[in-house]
Amino acid sequence: MLMTKEAETILQNYLHAVERKLPLRKRNDIIRELHSTIMDTLEAEFGDEEIHEDQMSSFLREFGSPSKTAAGYHEIRPLIPSALLPLFSLIVTIVGAVLTGIFIVGIIVDAVSGSLTGVSFFLDLTELFTGVTSAFGVIVLVFILLDHTLKPEDIPFSRLDDAENWDPKKLPKAEFQRRPKTAESVISIVFGLVLIIAFNLFAEDMAMQWSSGSTCVYIPALGPGFLALIPLLTFRWSLGILVHAGILLRPAKLLWFRISEVLLSCFDFAIILMMLRSEADSIIRFDLLANTEIGDVVPILRWLYYGILTLILLLSLFEAVKGSWNLLKRSHDLQSFR
């Protein structure tokens, strides 16, 4: 069957929109089956005729909105119905932001008054967690009650059924087809250049500095372990600049960009792993800080250092796995359905 590139993009975006609303279990199999069914129906309707953007769009409008198509596969009714989800998200965001704001203000007040210790910080953090979870529970209960007592259209911000108002051409682009915005690439290039210049020319000057009475305390921030990693980091940042410059100059080479992204995530993973395997003091000079007046917070700073590195490590692993999965899925789809 023949279809234009634009028509194929609309179909991919539609399948992506349905996929996002499907239950996780058997999601891939459902999408594969749905794609096969749509292709069979298109073949029956258009035969050997080439399908254009408008034809695909009107076909999908008739086929059903992504919400409607996905709804059939949900065996259990969601706790918060989709019509109430925008209002629910808004309230959860506001409550979460207010509680986090109170927590931050509390920490600042403690720090200024000099009563901030590692123990008090963790106690405040526990209180924040308790506050957020109990508030979330109360909001969920209120929405379950609303769902049973009011009609969704009577509630502000409720999402009306999109079955009639949706437009296949306006669906969000499937992950694989999403091109990075020009601003995104430019920022990545500028940021990469700044990092290369800063760490290659001014690494020795990066220091923690403050006044203590009549003396000025000056402690270099980067340890020998980090300085030894600078050539490798420079290589990584240069590759990042090349990849983003490449997609700016050749926007059509999206597959190469996706492959490069996966390889860069693997590179990031390896570098962070190397940093985690080194002693924290050889990367950041926590050992020099321990002998100063803020020596008490050094264990917390070390904990934060390992926490942040572990988080970045997991994120880069997640990005690498997600990118590889999208590439494999894309390659499988092309083999299966073309």
Q: Which residues bind another protein (CB under 8 A)?
A: 1, 26, 30, 32-34, 36-37, 39-41, 63-64, 68-69, 71-73, 75, 336-338
**Dihedral-angle region of residue 157 (phi above 0 means left; psi in -120 to 50 means alpha; beta otherwise):** left
Nearest approach in angstroms of CB 279 to another protein is 53
Closest by Cα among 311, 279, 312, 285 to 298: 285
What is the four-CA torsion angle of 19, 22, 26, 32, rounded to 10 degrees?
Answer: -30
Q: How far is the CB of 72 from another protein (least distance, A)?
A: 4
As measured in angstroms, the least distance from the Cβ of 194 to another protein is 49
Nearest alpha-carbon partner for 166 in 70, 21, 61: 61
Nearer to another protein, 22 or 264 (CB): 22
Q: Which is nearer to another protein, 33 or 296 (by Cβ)?
A: 33
Q: Within 13 Å of residue 183, how many CA atoms lie on the same side as its CB?
A: 0
Containing 211, the helix (H) or strand (E) segment is: strand 207-212
Nearer to another protein, 64 or 86 (CB): 64
CB of 30 to another protein, least distance (A): 7
CB nearer another protein, residue 36 or residue 310: 36
Cβ distance to another protein smaller for residue 20 or 253? 20
Give 27 or 302: the residue with its C-beta nearer to another protein: 27
Distance between CA atoms of 30 and 34, rounded to whole angstroms? 6
Least distance (Å) from another protein to the CB of residue 33? 5
Q: CB–CB of 67/19 below 8 Å?
A: no
Given the complex with another protein, which of 130 and 331 has the nearer CB atom? 331
The radius of gyration computed from the CA coordinates of the chain, to the nearest angstrom, equals 26
Q: 1 vs 301, which CB is nearer to another protein? A: 1
Q: Where are the alpha helices (DSSP H) in the chain?
A: 5-21, 27-46, 53-63, 66-71, 85-113, 118-149, 182-201, 224-249, 254-277, 280-283, 286-289, 298-337
Q: Taking the complex as a whole, how short is the minimal distance between the CB of residue 97 and another protein, in angstroms?
A: 38
Q: Are 53 and 169 in contact (CB under 8 A)?
A: yes
Minimum CB separation from another protein for residue 336, in Å? 6
Q: How far is the CB of 337 from another protein (least distance, A)?
A: 5
At 210, give phi and psi (nearest 5°): -155, 165
